[in-house]
Structure 1
Amino acid sequence: MRAANDNVPLRLLTKTQAARYCGLSLPSFDSVCPVRAIALGVGVRWERYDIREVDAWIDSLRPGEAPLRTADSLLEAL
């Protein structure tokens, strides 16, 4: 997902962007995605979903496959 006016990829997504990224409707995203929003301020307008956490959730859905390890998860394992 990229920002509208430049080529910098977004890390934090609104709920609508996160649902679109997953290819889901908002109601479906709400019912199946366990990723919790990060509160950047007061109110729902300031909630964002970390794309890395969304990716980790999607990777965990693959049956019989270990999720891909990121550099962060490898460092945490140490």
Structure 2
Amino acid sequence: MKKIIVSFIVALGLISCSNAQKTEFSKEALADKMMSVDGTELTFSDILKNMKEKLLLLMFGPLGVRIASKECQK
């Protein structure tokens, strides 16, 4: 009985570790166009380039995407 339980726990651990998270945005996501507060249209790639070296917090909600940024300390 102990071997079955241990085998189940090990299998569960291996399955949960196999779901690696993506570390890059897809080309489609980088090409998505967004509207800024002042009415200019930017792609997501442009936003990331403008915010380089900053910590970004992207908040997705029913009214759109809100972006908060902070300078990174080295």
The TM-score range, normalised by the shorter chain, is: under 0.3
Please, what TM-score do these two structures have when normalized by structure 1? 0.25
Going by fraction, where is helix more abundant, 1 or 2? 1
Where relative contact order (Cα < 8 A, 6+ residues apart) is larger, the structure is 1
Please, what TM-score do these two structures have when normalized by structure 2? 0.25
Going by fraction, where is strand more abundant, 1 or 2? 2
